[in-house]
Structure 1
Amino acid sequence: MFPRVILKGTMIKKSQQKRRTSPCNYKERFFVLDTQDLKYSERRPGKKPTLKGCIALSRIKCVEIVCSDVPIPCSYKYPFQVFHDNHYLYIFAPDNDCRQRWVKALKEETKFNNLVVKYHPNFWMDGRWKCCHQTEKLASGCNEYDPMGYASKGPLPQIPEPQEVDIHDPGQRVVVALRDYTPTGDNDLPLHKDQEYILTDTSHAEWWTVQDNMGYVGFVPSTYVAEKSATNFDKFEWYNKDICRGEAEELLMREAKEGAFMVRDSRQAGVYTVSVFTKAPGSNGEKNPRVKHYQIRETNTEDFYLAEKYLFPTIPELIRYHQHNAAGLITRLRHPISQDRVWLRGSSKKKWEVSPTELSLGQEVGSGQFGLVLEGRWRDRKVAVKMVKAGAMSEEEFIEEARVMMSLSHCKLVQLYGVCTQVTQDCPLCLLFEFMDNGCLSDFLRDKRGRLSQVSMLGMCLDVSEGMAYLERNKFIHRDLAARNCLVSKNNEVKVSDFGMTRYVLDDQYTSSHGSKFPVKWSSPEVIKYSRFSSKSDVWSFGVFMWEVYSEGHLPYEHRSNGQVVESLNAGLRLLKPRSAPEPVHLLMERCWKEKPEDRPPFAVLLHELASLSDL
């Protein structure tokens, strides 16, 4: 009698690392679970599937999800483990529902096996268990294993008995994660984009408390979630609750900017309309200023769309996409408009607009592409004020840069506090940033030359890689990463700054159409040749940044012209190893400088490998 197939599907398998020196890799495999075995095969177009592994169910001793806060370098982010024959197989599912199905099925098929009493809820990495720090791979686990449980819960401080909860309970307030969030503190909860959470506390304006479907509770940034209920979009600058079609047209025609838009309530309860202004030519070929109205429609599977091919689980995600892609609309949604003309709002729903009367300016602390940076005071807070010199950028460009900065929130990025758009003779357009007492990193490195420890230099690289991994996860590119564009705090923490050249890219690639200037000595070959920017060109720049740190502030290619640098790169030459750089760090630099972008590691991997060096 043939075994019955229980589950099958494509997931990602991590190498088992049977020896400590084994390379770590992630490979897509087609898994089949039947009543006898767990098998996985390699599938290649036009070729017969190749069986790569087969585990008899009778040999499995533990099946459980993996709870970890380390960056996951593959595209599937939901890991679980299968312990068999003294080996650990780590499998990564595309979503939590898929992971739970496989764990539940495997537990059911193996519940009468000779199972472990305790298991390890975290990964075996770099020769130790991340959960209990034991250095023997076959050491007894640190959590009780429940073979009958749906999926065991990992430990979480201050939650003594986590219980699985029903997020579909109509009495609960449910939020949807607009993006991934990696915890920065012990009491934070990770967010996974598009996943639903129960909202339990909104008393703190900037940090809400949510509960996931495993019962874990923690803080998340309030800007990273939106209530699933389609009736609460107050936090978004594009939403206008009480406005009719005629009023919307009047406001947008008065604004008269291509792509000015708003989302408003339709006449039909629970339905929403996007109204957008365009000057696109009419049938006679002449400019035809007008307002187009698009109703947001919903599928039977509760997805939202404006154009049928582009479906989204939430309305905020739909709007976010069309802000960067027309995709069936007459124009992309460029400028959100609201009745009270508030363009920029903070996570606490307070206006981010700063009155010039609230701001006092002090001495100059630096200069940038668009003007001076001054020390300032705002509401008893020390701030850095980025002034925009006349003619350097339009108000629209200024608002767009501020909008980019507002959408980013991470402890390793310099934080934006507010903006001032009320131009006076003494106060032009300006942005108010977190003040970093120790200034520019390149100057800091030169001032501390000869007095920096290995721990300090590695810490600087870790700080910046963490900030850049965050940008990478959120599909932002920096385009000008260098020590001069990183700042140092009072306690010597390094943060990424200067997002004036940042662009949001849905396909992770931006090609300049204007022959934009860029810093050649920090630029990758594809940027130099084609002005083609991506997160992988940022990785190249990060390699140069590491070189700057370990050379203690020396300029790369110090005595060569830009032309000579280009010739050297074309010949395959790279920067030499700085005297202070350990060999593993230099090897990471060289990996950042691979000729082909696809051969360079993502920031998530760089962050993990730098962190592993800090444990040595």
Structure 2
Amino acid sequence: MEQHVRKHLTFLTFIWNKLWPNTVSADRPSQGYFDPEPVALRPDLEPNPVLPSSSLFSALYDFRARSAEELSVSQGDKLCILKEEGEYVLARRLTGEPALGYIPANYVTRINEETSQQPWYFRGISRNEAQQLLLSPPNQHGSFLIRDSESSQGEYSLSVRNHAKVSHFRICKGPDGGLYIQKGCPFPNLEELLTFYTVNWKVVQSPLLQPCIPKTPLVRDAWERPRSEFILRRKLGEGYFGEVWEGLWKNMVPVAIKIIKQADMKAEDFTKEIQNLKRLKHERLIQLHAVCSVGEPLYIVTELMRKGNLQSYLSSLEGRALSTLHLISIACQVADGMTYLEEQHIVHRDLAARNILVGDNLTCKIADFGLARLLKDDIYSTSGSTKIPVKWTAPEVANYRTYSLKSDVWSYGILLYEVFTYGQTPYEGMTNQETIQQISMGYRLPRPSTCPPEIYGVMLECWKGNAEERPTFLALREKLCSIYRRLHNSLS
């Protein structure tokens, strides 16, 4: 029953999640993973089957949902707007498969008004924004626009540029619905009003020569948000990639905010890596919520995992109480996420327990994938700097800086060592240089006392000197999950 309802009424996913909060999908066996209970970011609202025609809108741009509460739309999709909430609207998509969710308010326009498609109509901009727009190139003397009145709902304003000055004229609505600038001179619609003042332009102090040309936004990207939307509350830590803070998005959504100084970054790689973060989506990867990349410092905003990083968690009282079965579950979750990155041909470059975050129900997610590529060579280096994580790094990376999926596999073996030593630092007592020398001579970390021999065998496979002999993450996931199931069944 549940699977049938979920399949055919996907647009009510957030309701089904409340009715069946801990359900594992029928086509994906649990394998002992610990799944968190979904948390709704905004209040639920049932769709109203009877909507007035005035609530019909069209999508101006493509928008990709970043959470279960948001709605993906394509340019031109027909929508019903059910509710306005700040800079977002709750919409029901009418084009294609019906669905319900939030989208940015500036991504939609009303489609039952004749003005909505006119080049001179600018929906939702303020007087100051209109003035800045008209005074910006390529607009010039005689450029004009009509916008919604800020003070009187249902009325409009005409903004006209006269050389270096912009004048604004209130377009009032009479009792009979007529529109006028001068009393006693009404028009049935905006188009006829503009036609009249194009000829009789002296009334508005400037000829109406051409509609305002909209400014092309630097970033027409729903991921890009102003820093003013975020409040920093508590510093969680500091690492190679900058500071990490717990914060609030719009005073409502708890988030983690990574603050990076652009001076430490390779600017040419930034756009590519952020695009990677946006397109990657998997239950074992930290989900990107937003980016603040205009000005400094750079914010990378992600979901918040309340129990912090795995290295610190394992060394805590709660972490030290974990059983071998729990530790193998952690290993399986990380292998699952790395298998996805492997399929996407994404090299993490800094896989370690400090970059695995822990949430409720022992849910583990991979963070900071690909960010090492952003740092300048003098910041992230093997020579003269301690910032490169040598003790997690494959020998071919330490010696030749040759990163690959197979070097991530080596790091995964070190992560397994951290897990089964409850957060102990690998190669304790050795310097970075001593570590590299010992590894090149064939030394490998010994089996931790709490580690089953079968798991230690997996570690040694990850630490093969020849990178090509190391297993894939897919093979690692299957092997570890098989060990998990066997142990789980023996304890049941």
Calculate the TM-score normalised by the size of structure 2: 0.53
User: What's 1:405 paired with?
Assistant: 277
Give the drift of 1:433.
Answer: 0.7
CA contact (8 A) 2:412 2:462 kept: yes
Q: Specify the SS of the correspondent of 1:533.
A: coil
Residue 217 of structure 2 corresponds to residue 341 of structure 1: yes
Give the drift of 1:206.
Answer: 5.7
CA contact (8 A) 1:414 1:497 kept: yes
Q: Deviations for 1:389-434, whole angstroms, at most 9, x for unmatched residues?
A: 352236654433322211210111111100113437xxx3211111
Between structures 1 and 2, the one with greater helix share: 2
> Which is greater in Rg?
2
Point out where structure 2 has 5 or more consecutive residues left out of the alignment. Answer: 6-22, 29-64, 74-95, 97-136, 138-213, 383-387, 487-492
User: What's 1:173 paired with?
Assistant: none
Which of 595, 601, 605 is the aligned partner of 2:471? Answer: 601
CA contact (8 A) 2:347 2:370 kept: no
CA distance in 2, matches of 1:573, 1:344: 52
CA distance in 2, matches of 1:420, 1:364: 18
Which of 439, 451, 458 is the aligned partner of 2:308? Answer: 439
Give the drift of 1:499.
Answer: 2.5
User: What's 1:376 paired with?
Assistant: 247
Change (3 A) 1:352 1:392: same
Point out where structure 1 has 5 or more consecutive residues left out of the alignment. Answer: 1-155, 160-183, 190-201, 209-226, 228-253, 255-337, 346-350, 505-511
User: What's 1:464 paired with?
Assistant: 334
CA distance in 2, matches of 1:474, 1:563: 33
The number of equivalent residue pairs is 289
Give the drift of 1:515.
Answer: 8.4
Matches within 5 A, 1:479-490: 479-490=349-360
Q: Specify the SS of the correspondent of 2:277.
A: helix
Comparing 400-409 with 533-542, which one deviates more in the overlay? Answer: 400-409
CA distance in 1, matches of 2:459, 2:266: 38
Residue 412 of structure 2 corresponds to residue 566 of structure 1: no
User: What's 2:44 paired with?
Assistant: none
Letter in 2 for 1:595: G
Change (3 A) 1:204 1:417: closer
Which of 518, 531, 544 is the aligned partner of 2:401? Answer: 531
Letter in 2 for 1:158: H
> Percent same amino acid at aligned positions?
35
Letter in 1 for 2:4: Q
Q: Deviations for 1:255-296, whole angstroms, at most 9, x for unmatched residues?
A: xxxxxxxxxxxxxxxxxxxxxxxxxxxxxxxxxxxxxxxxxx
Q: Deviations for 1:482-510, whole angstroms, at most 9, x for unmatched residues?
A: 01111111322111111253669xxxxxx
Calculate the TM-score normalised by the size of structure 1: 0.43
Matches within 5 A, 1:408-427: 408-423=280-295
CA contact (8 A) 1:477 1:502 kept: no
Change (3 A) 1:206 1:458: farther
CA distance in 2, matches of 1:579, 1:491: 26
CA distance in 2, matches of 1:434, 1:572: 40
Q: Deviations for 1:295-320, whole angstroms, at most 9, x for unmatched residues?
A: xxxxxxxxxxxxxxxxxxxxxxxxxx
Change (3 A) 1:607 1:535: same
Which of 375, 385, 398 is the aligned partner of 2:257? Answer: 385
Change (3 A) 1:475 1:404: same
Change (3 A) 1:609 1:353: same
Matches within 5 A, 1:165-564: 186=25, 340-341=216-217, 343=219, 345=221, 351-379=222-250, 380-389=252-261, 391-393=263-265, 397-423=269-295, 428-448=297-317, 450-501=320-371, 516-517=381-382, 518-564=388-434
CA distance in 1, matches of 2:300, 2:426: 31
Higher relative contact order (CA 8 A, sep 6+): 2
Between structures 1 and 2, the one with greater strand share: 1
Give the drift of 1:186.
Answer: 2.1
Q: Specify the SS of the correspondent of 1:476.
A: coil
Q: Deviations for 1:354-387, whole angstroms, at most 9, x for unmatched residues?
A: 1222211211111132421111111311001111
Letter in 2 for 1:438: K
CA distance in 1, matches of 2:337, 2:277: 13
CA contact (8 A) 2:417 2:459 kept: yes
